[in-house]
């Protein structure tokens, strides 16, 4: 199974890469491959090491161990300028003393092999400015631009040199929420147009879920899961992924497997994958995906319990429902549902609503609700 060198349609390949500062390991050894044209998002809380991965690929930090290949070439000992990658920074990193035009043209002017002609530089600068809709602002200095415009200058500066890989380090997190949504779309448009491998770092799960072909979830220097957004949501590899992705956050409950090998929340028995056998008496963790739980009025519901709190979101509401035995769930309801704290709510669980994890937090299987004991 192991190939000696990465296949040629792989734009970036990280092999056994690790990073430590002295004795402090900030990234444990991991592997990651990004295909040509793929949009991969590195997602995790701040300080998890995701930006370090970008910096190592860019050559701004040295990998303590392992190999980094860009476009099939080992780049560990290649200077950043020769790695053929472009990076967009959170604070944009525009050259404040240069105009927008000079900022965008800078990478082209720096290019030595081949040295570019003036006309080529002008043409490619104009083209890049056009892609990000900056043509009217070419003569301005960064200080005279809005946050979104600055971000687009940074993007144009990355596009203009036609790199093998784009690295983006939280490029949208300095923008306000509305603008961020707009910029997400324009970023994806640009990506669709130039189709280059992109590694995108963010701590915002919405960005990750909406933009990524694949998401790499990282926590405390370890990769938790790599997968398509859909996989992360429906089959989270562990409790960290399960809680980090999805809003509201998935509540977790510790349960003990009963003597007959069954799992019960309050008086509902969970139907597990028939292949899974749980040790009686073992402790497992169960998570209930809020978006897959619905408040209903029918009596055939899976759970019922007392509503404690209602969060109104406009499109719908979420109810915190006390299921009994110390377990509670966040449950989706109609936006205008007339539920007050103290009301009894019936809860319907869609297939895949329930996830079972072992004691270490690793996922065992999904579950649905079987029969309810009356």
Residues at the interface with another protein (CB under 8 A): 1-7, 10, 13, 15-16, 30-35, 58-60, 62, 66-67, 69, 74, 76-77, 79-81, 83, 85-87, 89, 91, 93, 95-97, 106-107, 110-112, 142-143, 157, 161, 214, 222-226, 237-238, 360-362
The distance of closest approach from Cβ of residue 224 to another protein in the complex, given in angstroms and rounded to an integer, is 7
Between 102 and 267, CB nearer to another protein:
102
The distance of closest approach from Cβ of residue 151 to another protein in the complex, given in angstroms and rounded to an integer, is 13
The distance of closest approach from Cβ of residue 139 to another protein in the complex, given in angstroms and rounded to an integer, is 17
Structure-token pair, residue 345 = 């709510």
Between 8 and 298, CB nearer to another protein:
8
Between 40 and 272, CB nearer to another protein:
40
The distance of closest approach from Cβ of residue 217 to another protein in the complex, given in angstroms and rounded to an integer, is 9
Q: What per-residue string of b and e applies to 272-281 under the rule 16 or more CB within 10 Å gives b?
A: beeeeebeee
Between 76 and 368, CB nearer to another protein:
76
Residue 205 CA to residue 184 CA, distance in Å, equals: 13
The distance of closest approach from Cβ of residue 271 to another protein in the complex, given in angstroms and rounded to an integer, is 25
Between 37 and 66, CB nearer to another protein:
66
At residue 58, the 3 state secondary structure works out as helix
Between 151 and 224, CB nearer to another protein:
224
Between 68 and 302, CB nearer to another protein:
68
Residue 179 CA to residue 70 CA, distance in Å, equals: 32
The distance of closest approach from Cβ of residue 113 to another protein in the complex, given in angstroms and rounded to an integer, is 10
The distance of closest approach from Cβ of residue 237 to another protein in the complex, given in angstroms and rounded to an integer, is 7
Residue 362 CA to residue 100 CA, distance in Å, equals: 49
Contact status, residue 318 vs residue 282, Cβ threshold 8 Å: no
Residue 186 CA to residue 244 CA, distance in Å, equals: 26
The distance of closest approach from Cβ of residue 367 to another protein in the complex, given in angstroms and rounded to an integer, is 20
Pairing of strands 165-169, 85-88: parallel
Place of tokens 């319907």: 348
Between 10 and 183, CB nearer to another protein:
10
Residue 133 CA to residue 137 CA, distance in Å, equals: 9
C-alpha pair distances (Å), 240 with each of 32, 48, 144, 223, 270: 20, 13, 42, 11, 22
Q: What per-residue string of b and e applies to 67-78 under the rule 16 or more CB within 10 Å gives b?
A: ebbbbeeebeee
Cα dihedral value 219, 251, 231, 52, nearest 10: -10
Residue 21 CA to residue 36 CA, distance in Å, equals: 31
């Amino acid at each position: 199974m192991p190939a000696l060198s990465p296949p040629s349609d792989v734009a970036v390949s990280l092999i056994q890469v690790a990073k430590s500062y002295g004795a402090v390991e900030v990234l444990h050894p991991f592997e990651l491959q990004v295909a040509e044209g793929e949009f991969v998002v590195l997602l995790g809380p701040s300080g998890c090491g995701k930006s370090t991965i970008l910096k190592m690929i860019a050559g701004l930090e040295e990998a303590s161990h392992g190999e980094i290949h860009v476009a099939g070439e080992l780049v560990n000992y290649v200077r950043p300028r020769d790695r053929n990658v472009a990076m967009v920074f959170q604070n944009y990193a525009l050259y404040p003393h240069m105009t927008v035009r000079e900022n965008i043209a800078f990478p082209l002017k720096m290019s030595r092999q081949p040295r570019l002609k003036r006309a080529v530089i002008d043409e490619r600068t104009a083209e890049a400015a056009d892609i990000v809709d900056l043509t009217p602002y070419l003569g301005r200095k960064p200080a005279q631009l809005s946050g979104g415009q600055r971000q687009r200058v940074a993007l144009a500066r990355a596009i203009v040199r036609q790199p093998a890989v784009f690295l983006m380090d939280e490029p949208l997190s300095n923008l306000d929420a509305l603008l961020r949504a707009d910029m997400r779309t324009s970023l994806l448009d640009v990506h669709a147009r130039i189709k280059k491998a992109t590694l995108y770092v963010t701590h915002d799960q919405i960005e990750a879920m909406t933009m990524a072909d694949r998401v790499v979830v990282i926590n405390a220097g370890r990769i938790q899961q790599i997968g398509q957004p859909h996989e992360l949501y429906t089959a989270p590899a562990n409790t960290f992924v399960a809680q980090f992705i999805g809003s509201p956050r998935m509540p977790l409950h510790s349960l003990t497997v009963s003597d007959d090998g069954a799992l019960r929340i309050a008086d509902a028995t969970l139907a597990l994958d028939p292949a899974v056998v749980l040790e009686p008496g073992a402790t497992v963790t169960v998570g209930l995906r809020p978006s897959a739980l619905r408040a209903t009025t029918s009596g055939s519901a899976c759970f019922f319990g007392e509503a404690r709190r209602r969060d109104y979101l406009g499109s719908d509401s979420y109810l915190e429902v006390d299921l009994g035995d110390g377990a509670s769930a966040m449950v989706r309801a109609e936006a205008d549902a007339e539920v007050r704290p103290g009301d009894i709510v019936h809860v319907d669980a869609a297939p895949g609503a329930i996830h079972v994890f072992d004691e270490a937090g690793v996922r065992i299987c999904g579950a649905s609700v079987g029969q309810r004991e009356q």
